[in-house]
Amino acid sequence: MMTRLSLGSVTLVSVVVQCDQVKNGVAGCDDKEMTDYCQQHGFDAWFETSAKENVNIEEAARFLIARVSYLVMLVKQ
């Protein structure tokens, strides 16, 4: 499942959830295909994540926090 998060029209991040399910043949994505899709549709980044196995949870959260912090800084200027 892919979720699209948006902060206005500035930051778009694709979060591909349950990447741990690849083992079960349920999920999975091609890195090049996802990168191409994100570039074509204006996404700033994408992350394969698994809360179950703690894969890229912190990385995705840090990226979003950094983007929001940057946008807040711009608004305050």
Predicted confidence pLDDT, tens digits, the chain (77 residues):
444 544 454 566 666 666 666 655 445 667 888 888 888 888 888 888 888 888 888 998 898 888 888 877 877 77
* Count of residues in the chain: 77
For the entire predicted model, the pTM comes to: 0.65
Q: Which domain holds residue 63?
A: 2-76
pLDDT of residue 12: 61
Query: What CATH code is carried by the domain that includes residue 44?
Result: 3.40.50.300
Pairing verdict, β 45-48 and 2-7: unpaired
pLDDT of residue 22: 61
Domains in the chain: how many in total? 1
pLDDT of residue 13: 65
Measured CA to CA, the distance from residue 2 to residue 12 in angstroms comes to 12
